[in-house]
Amino acid sequence: MSTERPDPYKSPRDLFAFELRRHRQAAELSQRQLARRMDYSDSLINMVEAAKRPPTRRFAELADRALGLDGDMLRLYTATTWNKAPDYLRSWLEEEQEATSLRTWQPSIVPGLLQTESYAREILAAWPSITAEELDERLSNRMQRQAILVGDKPPDLNILLDEDVIRHMIGGAAVMREQLDHLLQVVSRWHVTMQIVPYVARPHCGQMGGFVLAERNGVAYAAYAEAQPVGRTFDERRLIADLIRRYDAIRAQALPVKESLRLVEEAVDRIGV
């Protein structure tokens, strides 16, 4: 277990870590005892206290409850600007940047990390009442996220897409062709694999919504699941275990990689010039 004390003036994450440790020690609890009260692993508590993992909103709420606080950790979490992304996405973006592997299932659209700018603009513009300024800011944030794929240590990216993602036209022929060509280029990189789940596999458990699993050194520790009106980040072990089972069940229905790429190539040919 790490004994290094975070510097509360260094970053928002360090401040949260410092306060969590201070309140835990004041309650005379070990990390293991706090973990049991919150139904998390003691290694997760250690990582948050060492500022090696960002907290989620759920984590802050459970910490308040376990430590008998009057919303101190939740206020600290919500008052902190983790980045310029929408509130519901902030905690996930930190997880995404630190993962060594990402496993994603998408039943309706291309994942944000693999979207072209034109395709992403079409998707984001569909948000109700979004202004031109908000659209430009969200588009810029989405494009910046993709930097993790070309960094010094990019995560392994394993993608499962429903066949409808490559068949359904979004933004017209030019936009869709550019997007599918981009997919083919991206999956040619060693750290990216893609498989298509064909129409004939329906019904299957993946039709209930898309999700992403973040892994570090082979262990899934966080997930992001789509929901209405917005998605949710969580790190509860039981929920993550359920999503792992779902991902494996969906993947069992997917076409092999080479056949999946051939299906995308055929979709490009059907669009034409």
Buried b (16+ CB within 10 A) or exposed e, 77-92: beebebeebeeebbbb
| 150-190 pLDDT per residue, tens | 767 889 999 999 999 999 999 999 999 999 999 999 988 77
- Domains defined along the chain, listed by start: 12-79 (1.10.260.40), 87-115+145-271 (3.30.870.10)
**pLDDT at residue 86 in the model:** 66
* C-alpha dist (Å) from residue 187 to 111, 117, 257: 13, 18, 10
**pLDDT at residue 234 in the model:** 81
What does the CA dihedral 62, 68, 69, 71 come to, rounded to 10 degrees? 40
Identify the H or E element spanning 124.
helix 117-124
Q: What is the CB neighbour count within 10 angstroms for residue 38?
A: 19
pLDDT band, residue 83 (cuts 50/70/90): very low
**pLDDT at residue 197 in the model:** 98
**pLDDT at residue 4 in the model:** 66
| Residue-wise DSSP of 187-228 | TTSTTEEEEEE-GGG-S-GGGG--EEEEEETTEEEEEEE--S
CA distance 180 to 264: 7
Long-range contacts of 234-237 (CB under 8 A, 24+ apart): 234/56, 234/58, 235/40, 235/44, 235/56, 235/58, 235/59, 236/39, 236/40, 236/58, 237/39, 237/40, 237/41
pLDDT at 227 over 60: yes
* C-alpha dist (Å) from residue 173 to 11, 119, 166, 167: 45, 11, 12, 11
pLDDT at 32 over 90: yes
| 87-133 pLDDT per residue, tens | 667 778 778 878 899 999 999 999 999 999 999 999 999 988 888 88
**pLDDT at residue 11 in the model:** 67
* C-alpha dist (Å) from residue 108 to 104, 112, 241: 12, 12, 23
Q: Which residue has the tokens 């092999």?
A: 256
